[in-house]
Amino acid sequence: MQLELKAQVEALQPHIGRPPGLAVLMVGDNPASAAYVRNKERACARVGIASYGEHFAADTGQAELTQVIHRLNQDPNVDGILVQLPLPPHLNAEALLYEIAPKKDADGLHPINLGRLVRGEAGLRSCTPAGVMRLLTTYDVKLEGKQAVVLGRSILVGKPMALMLLEANATVTVAHSKTQNLAQLTQSADILVAAVGRPSYVTAEMVKSGAVVVDVGINRVEGPAGKARLVGDVDFANVEQKASLITPVPGGIGPMTVAMLLYNTVWSYSQGSKASYNS
């Protein structure tokens, strides 16, 4: 996918007169966030996107970050803006996301972009669920008429994931912490997407034989000698024995999320100042 985006940038740049630009705002010194930002910057370089990363102290205030976002909204060299989550607890992440101009919302989380998803209109899509959809397409997973179960109802993954699957003509059920008879429900799924943030939560007994299992979870757990490692929401070793396809953690959906972030940035870049897209 990165090769496709690189070719698209090379074709557009002579007409637009500049490369696409992505601004990533990071607050504090979260090691995982720092690693994610470095990965995004390297991916941008491979595609030909200019990175405008800005790193702020952990005690940076809401007003200062809001002003930075407003400045980037007006910067003609910036096509995408991303606020790296999680933020320190004193900051209101949702309020900051609302300040990003919809046409520069690289994470696809602004209410206007989520509304376009609901209406089935073209627009920026939430990166992780869009990455899941791209992966399913790449592996020729048929969705029309299939039973899909999404574990999790967050605005970041669960809700947009359900909408995208529904748009692909799957029959979708969203499960959450209050769902009764959860294992019975998940056993009916042809496609099971886990996004609950609980390590190894989905066991083999919860999965139908031959199901496609997509693990969106990224959980840091302590291993031997106190060494941390990343695991997903799915008990991979055991579920792998039953699934027809399964995504690993790390290395599964994570790279697809970054790829869709680049895709969104290039999409905004290609739109330019079209009047049909709100500022």
pLDDT at 273: 41
**Residue 79 resides in a domain:** yes
- pLDDT of 275 reads 40
Clarify whether 241 is annotated catalytic.
no
Per-residue pLDDT of the chain (279 residues; tens, 9 = 90+): 888 999 999 999 999 999 999 999 999 988 778 878 888 899 999 999 999 989 999 999 999 999 999 999 999 999 999 999 889 999 999 999 999 999 999 999 999 999 999 999 999 999 999 999 999 999 999 999 999 999 999 999 999 999 999 999 999 999 998 999 999 999 999 999 999 999 999 999 999 999 999 999 988 888 777 788 889 999 999 999 999 999 999 999 999 999 999 999 999 999 974 444 455
Are both 143 and 171 inside the same structural domain? yes
* Known binding-site residue numbers for NADP(+): 152-154, 218
Judge if 140 and 214 occupy the same domain.
Answer: yes
Catalytic residue among 79, 84, 190, 208: 84
CB < 8 Å & 24+ apart, contacts of 238-244: 238/203, 238/204, 239/202, 239/203, 239/204, 239/207, 239/213, 241/204, 242/204, 242/207, 242/208, 242/209, 242/210, 242/211, 243/207, 243/210, 243/211, 243/212, 243/213, 244/210, 244/211, 244/212
Task: Tell me the β-bridge partners of 82.
Answer: 24
Residue 227 designated active-site: no
Q: What is the pLDDT of residue 278?
A: 52
Domain extent for 17: 2-117+256-271
Check residue 276 and give its pLDDT.
Answer: 42
Residues 169 and 90 grouped into a single domain: no
Pair (15, 56) in one structural domain: yes
Same-domain check for residues 186 and 202: yes
Count how many domains the chain has: 2
Report the sign of the C-alpha dihedral through residues 155, 156, 159, 160, in that order: positive
User: Is 49 inside a domain boundary?
Assistant: yes
Question: What does the pLDDT read at residue 118?
Answer: 95
Catalytic residue among 8, 40, 215, 233: 40
> Does 132 lie in the same domain as 93?
no
Whole-Å CA distances, 251 to 103, 134, 166, 261: 29, 15, 26, 16
Q: Is residue 260 part of a domain?
A: yes
Are residues 131 and 222 both part of a single domain? yes
Q: Which tokens sit at 29?
A: 């010194």
- Shared-domain flag, residues 112 and 8: yes
Query: In this structure, is residue 188 part of a structural domain?
Result: yes
Indicate whether 107 belongs to any domain. yes
Indicate if 84 belongs to the active site.
yes
Same domain for 75 and 154?
Answer: no
pTM above 0.75, yes or no: yes
The size of the chain, in residues, is 279
User: Which one from 79, 103, 105, 107 is the annotated catalytic residue?
Assistant: 107
**110 in a structural domain:** yes
Q: What integer pLDDT is reported at residue 226 of this predicted model?
A: 76
CATH of the domain at 265: 3.40.50.10860
Find the helix packing angle between 2-16 and 253-271, rounded to 10°. Answer: 20
The enclosing domain of 208 has a CATH number of 3.40.50.720
Half-sphere exposure of 13 (CA within 13 A, CB side): 15
- Dihedral sign (CA 10, 121, 215, 209): negative
Residue 279 in domain: no
Q: State the binding site.
A: 152-154, 218
Task: Based on the fold, state whether residues 131 and 238 are members of the same structural domain.
Answer: yes
Q: Is residue 187 part of a domain?
A: yes
Residues 10, 80, single domain; the answer is yes
Same domain for 76 and 42: yes
